[in-house]
Copies of this chain bind each other. A is one copy, B any other.
Amino acid sequence: MSLQHPATADLVLPAVLHALSDPHRLQIVQALATSETPLRCGTMGLSITKSTATHHFRVLRDAGVIHQVEDGTARLNSLRREDLDARFPGLLDAVLGAVPAVPA
């Protein structure tokens, strides 16, 4: 049995924006965006406990920002780029472009 993900048409803006409004979740999204391949939960350098990380991944998945597939004991995460672009054109790119925007 696979994991629950909202359909593209069911993505709602407030939920997506809320999912993106947490620094840790933004870090996850950025890590996925800069990766060629799906990433496991434990490989993103999050400075939080595993249970908290699980919570954040769930928020992102429930909002439709990421897609998760089980792979043994691990879980492979990927960005739902096309779905987000289809539903909210330009939004993801704008957020990703703004994330590293805290230079010296």
Q: A residues 64-104 with Cβ under 8 Å of B?
A: 87-91, 93-95, 97-99, 101-102
A99→B26 contact, CB < 8 A = no
A44 at the interface (CB under 8 A from B): no
Contacts of A87 in B (CB 8 A): 98, 101
A45 at the interface (CB under 8 A from B): no
Chain A residues bordering chain B, tally (CB within 8 A): 24
Query: Do most interface residues of chain A lie in helix, strand or loop, or is the interface mixed?
Result: helix
Complex CA gap A102/B13 in Å reads 9
A20 at the interface (CB under 8 A from B): yes
Complex CA gap A95/B101 in Å reads 19
Complex CA gap A14/B25 in Å reads 10
A21→B26 contact, CB < 8 A = no
Contacts of A102 in B (CB 8 A): 12
Chain B: which residue is nearest A88 at the CB level?
B98
Given A17-B20, A87-B98, A94-B94, 5 more pairs with CB closer than 8 A: A12-B102, A14-B23, A88-B94, A89-B94, A90-B94
